[in-house]
Amino acid sequence: MIGSRLSGNFLGLSMRMWAVVLFAFLVSLSLFRVFNNLNDQILLLTDSRYKIEKAITKLQLDSIDISRRRLNSASDNHNHSGEKDKDIDDDIVIIYNRVPKTGSTSFAGVAYELCTINKYHVIHLNISKSSRTLGLADQRRFINNITNWEEKKPAIYHGHLAFIDFSRFGIEKLPIYINMVREPLDRLISYYYFVRYGDDFRPSLKRRKAGDNESFDECVARDGDDCDPENLWVQIPYFCGHHADCWEPGNQWALEEAKRNLLHHYLVVGITEELKSFLAVLEATLPRFFRGAVALYNEGSKSHLRKTAKKFPPLTETVEKIQSSLIYRMENDFYTYAVDHFHFIRQHTIGRNEDGNLVVKDRRFMYEKIRPR
C-alpha cells in the first residue's frame, strides 16, 4: 500500500524521487549543523589554548623573578659577612692631577682639613724625578693600586701627573677627575718668582733659582730661557695626557685633545681666580667629600695657603710680547674654554641667597607617570 502511495508523480518527479531528495536535504542540513558546531568548538579551543599559554608564560616569568630575588637576597646576606652594604659614595676615588702654580696647595689644604670630618682619605702621589708622565707598566700599577686599595676608599689622590685614561686598561669603575686652571701668563710669572724666592708655605726651603734676582721683565727683554713662551706649555699637556704629541709645544692636536678630555673625563675643572666657587660646586656635587668646604674657605685659614714670597707685576710691553706668541694664544684658548665650561656648570649648580651666600640650587626635576602603580 505504501508502495502504491509513492507510485504517483509530482512536478514531473515520482514520489519515490522526492523522498530521496528530501532525505538528502535533511542529511545535508544535519551535516552543516555538525560542521558549524565543530568550527565553533575549534575556535573556542584555540582561544582557550592561547589563554593557557599566556598564563603558563606569566607563571614562568614570575618563577624566574622569584628565583632572582632569592639569589640577590642570598648574595646580599653573604656580602660583608652580614654587615650593612657600603654606601655607593664610599667606593669613590677622586684624582686631582694638579697643575703647578694654580692654587693646588690651597685646594689640597682644604681636602686635608675635611678628610677627618667627612671620613675619607687624602693621598699624595709623588713621582720620581719630578716627571709628569708614567710608563705603561707604571700606569697599570697605579691603576691597580688605587682601584683595589679598598682600605683607603673613599679617597682623593693628588699629584703633578698628566691625565691617564683608565678605560684604555679595561677598567669599568672609573675614578672622578677634577682639576683647576689659571690664566697662563699669571701662572708662568708666579712660577718664575716661586723658583727664585719661594713662598710663605715653606719659607726656609731654598729654591733651585735662589740668588737669581733678574726680574721677569728683564728676562723677557733679553729673550731668556726661563721666560721663553714655551714654558707656558703646561696646562694643555696635563689635560692632553700621555701621548707624545701632548708634550710638543704648539701642537694643535694636543690642544684639541686637552679640550676633549676636559669635557668628557673631568667632572669639573675650576678656576684659580674663582676658588671659592669651585669649592661650592664640589660641595654641592660631592658632599661626601666636600661638605663644609665653603665654610672652611670663609674662615680664611685655608683660603690662600701658599703665596709666593716676592713677585713683581709685569710691564705692559712684557705682557704684549708674551701674548703675541703662538704658545700663549693656544694656552689661553684652552684656559678660556675651561672658564666658559666652568661658568656654565656654576650657573646651573649654585646660586646666592638673600644674604649673598653661595647655595645649592633647588632640584629642577621630578618623577611622574610611574607605571605600574
Cell numbers given for 103: 692654587
Residue of 160, 130, 325 whose CA lies nearest to 230: 325
Show the CA angle centred on residue 287, arms to residues 281 and 293, nearest 5°. Answer: 65
State the alpha helices, DSSP H only, in the chain: 2-5, 15-78, 104-118, 136-148, 184-197, 216-221, 235-240, 252-265, 275-285, 287-290, 293-299, 316-323, 326-349
Which residue, among 159, 293, 373, has the nearest Cα to 145 in the 3D structure?
Answer: 159
- Report residue 28 as a C-alpha cell: 545535508
| Cα–Cα distance, 351 to 358 (Å, whole number) | 6
The grid coordinates listed for 49 are 589554548
Active site residues: 158, 160
With H, G, I as helix, E, B as strand and everything else as coil, classify residue 345.
helix
Query: Distance between CA 356 and CA 14 in Å, rounded?
Result: 117
Max alpha carbon distance in the chain (Å)? 153
Indicate the DSSP class of residue 199: B
| CB-based contact 138:128 (threshold 8 Å) | no
- Mode of pairing for the β-strands spanning 155-158 and 93-96: parallel
Grid cell 685655608 in the structure block, residue? 302
The closest alpha carbon to 275, from 137, 142, 110, belongs to 110
